Amino acid sequence: MDTLPLELKQRVCSYLTTKDLKSLRLASKVYSVAACRYLLPRIFLFNHPDSCQEVQDIANHSDLNQSVTTLIVDTSCLRSLLKYDSWVREFVEVESDKTQQSERSSSASSLDARTQRILHRNNLRERWASYCASQKDCLRNSILSSIALAFLRCPRLKNLVVECHINQEFRVRSSFGMLKKREQFYRSVASSNAQRSSSKYDWSWESMQFDIWDVLKPVHDAARSLNSLVLLDADLTCPLDWTPPATSIFRSLKHLRQINCPTNFLTHIVASAPGLKSFGTFDRWHLRRYPSVPSLISGPLLPKLRACSFTCVAEGEDLIQFLLRHAHTLQQLRIDNTLGPLSDWSRFVTSVRGKLPNLRRVDLKHLATFTAGWGLGPYFTEYDILQNHKHKLELSLTGIEDGLWEDYEQMFFPEKIEL
């Protein structure tokens, strides 16, 4: 093993788990360099000073920055509470603290009750100060500067995820890895109960307002082209009069996933990504805001498009035209209208039946006939859009391509398709 060139040592490391890589780094300096290439494929950035510092430390590390391929930016923050008493009620389990305090009192008889109360009060004040510090507006600039440094110093960083913890209306949950990492930074602020209880942990958060170009401009400034872009923050904004800059960040974009991306910006992305291979969208149909399909139909033909996923999308001529335009390349199609508007999908099914000849994986959910006065009719199945189909539909699992995260992919392209 010692005589192998560095390239082959790195190839061996690509098959090891993170735990094994950490152990291998201790073997020698050579193996440390080889293991670092795969030790930190993704890094997280939260609205917390320690998180910003961690990203900056990794970006400035000569070995660790070589392994980073994905940056996940969390735009959520703890809900602002201006009064100390409100903070205590929200984030501190007072009764639990009192119980723990009495237990400590029994084991430390040298401290009287008055001293215990003073220590308890001082501890709460320290946590309150930590909470206030994490809410300062200056952290907004720290987040953006940390994104810029990551793309400037990490040569393999080509995948960006912008996430938010409060996407309940889309039934979107953060991945387990994201939740675990978030708790590491906020453990000193949020109570242990808030960490264990998903309901309390959810509604104690709110979204920071970011302009979508503010988040992507660091990528542009670093002259980097993205491989994948996942926009899961439904509150990202973009001015209506926004003028697209001359940028190459979408030139090599292969995978795009989005929730409620502003229409003008989504149109710009699609028009600037001729190599787009897959697209997934979750529309905010009930507010009739930022529909994704008009942005797609107004853009140019995507000659490499292979997979599309539409959730809560409205049935209409735009969707039909988009699919027919890409009929010769489209291999995977998923339309999930479980949470979408009630409408009659009969015309859609009739229009695309037999005209998508290269489909290999199809998943249709809750596409029904609907007649006023009669209500819902039967649901359409995958076979309703297939006619004299030459390809056998695939039921096996498909691999996750480099740069994509399996937890997030399950929202748009579930692994298992039942026919």
Q: What value does the mean pLDDT take over residues 81-104?
A: 57
Amino acid 418: pLDDT: 45
Residue 392 and residue 284 share a domain: yes
Predicted confidence band at 82 (pLDDT cuts at 50, 70, 90)?
low
Residue 419 in any domain: the answer is: no
Of 98, 114, 134, which residue constitutes the final position of a domain?
A: 134
Greater confidence (13 vs 352) lies with 352
Residue 143 and residue 16 share a domain: no
Which residues constitute the domain of residue 14?
Answer: 1-39
pLDDT in tens, 207-221: 788 899 999 999 999
Residue 354 and residue 250 share a domain: yes
CATH number, domain containing residue 315? 3.80.10.10
User: For all residues of the chain together, what is the average pLDDT?
Assistant: 77
Residue 152 in any domain: the answer is: yes
Residue 109 in any domain: the answer is: yes
Residue 254 in any domain: the answer is: yes
Amino acid 228: pLDDT: 95
Amino acid 196: pLDDT: 41
Residue 381 in any domain: the answer is: yes
What pTM was estimated for this model as a whole?
Answer: 0.78
Residue 127 and residue 4 share a domain: no
Predicted confidence band at 366 (pLDDT cuts at 50, 70, 90)?
confident
Residue 162 in any domain: the answer is: yes
Residue 335 and residue 247 share a domain: yes
Q: How far is CA 69 from the centre of its chain?
A: 15
Amino acid 195: pLDDT: 43
Residue 195 and residue 122 share a domain: no
Residue 201 in any domain: the answer is: yes
pLDDT in tens, 159-168: 999 988 765 5
Residue 87 and residue 72 share a domain: no
If one counts the domains in the chain, the total is: 3
Amino acid 84: pLDDT: 67
How would you write the chain as a 3-class SS string? CCCCCHHHHHHHHCCCCHHHHHHHCCCCHHHHHHHHHHHCCEEEECCCHHHHHHHHHHHHCCCHHHCCCEEEEECEEECCCCCHHHHHHHHCCHHHHHHHHHHHHHHCCCCCHHHHHHHHHHHHHHHHHHHHHHCCCHHHHHHHHHHHHHHHHCCCCCEEEEECCCCHHHCCCCCHHHHHHHHHHHCCCCCHHHHHCHHHHHHCEEECCCEHHHHHHHHHHCCCCCCEEEECCCCCECCCCCCCCCCCCCCCCCEEEEECCCHHHHHHHHHCCCCCCEEEEECEHHHCECCCHHHHHCCCCCCCCCEEEEECCCCCHHHHHHHHHCCCCCCEEEEECCCCCCCCCHHHHHHHCCCCCCCCEEEEECCEEEECCCEEEEECCHHHCCCCCCCCCCCCCCCCCCCCCHHHHHHHCCCCCCC
Residue 151 and residue 120 share a domain: no
Task: Check whether 333 has a pLDDT greater than 90.
Answer: yes
Residue 240 and residue 128 share a domain: no
Amino acid 9: pLDDT: 65
Residue 244 in any domain: the answer is: yes
pLDDT in tens, 190-204: 544 344 444 444 446
Residue 356 and residue 387 share a domain: yes
pLDDT in tens, 242-252: 888 889 999 99
Residue 228 and residue 320 share a domain: yes
Q: Report the alpha-carbon distance of residue 364 to residue 379 in Å, rounded.
A: 9
Of 100, 119, 134, which residue constitutes the final position of a domain?
A: 134
pLDDT in tens, 15-71: 666 666 666 666 676 666 655 655 678 899 998 888 889 999 999 988 788 889 999
pLDDT in tens, 218-241: 999 999 999 999 998 878 888 888
Residue 375 and residue 298 share a domain: yes
Predicted confidence band at 6 (pLDDT cuts at 50, 70, 90)?
low
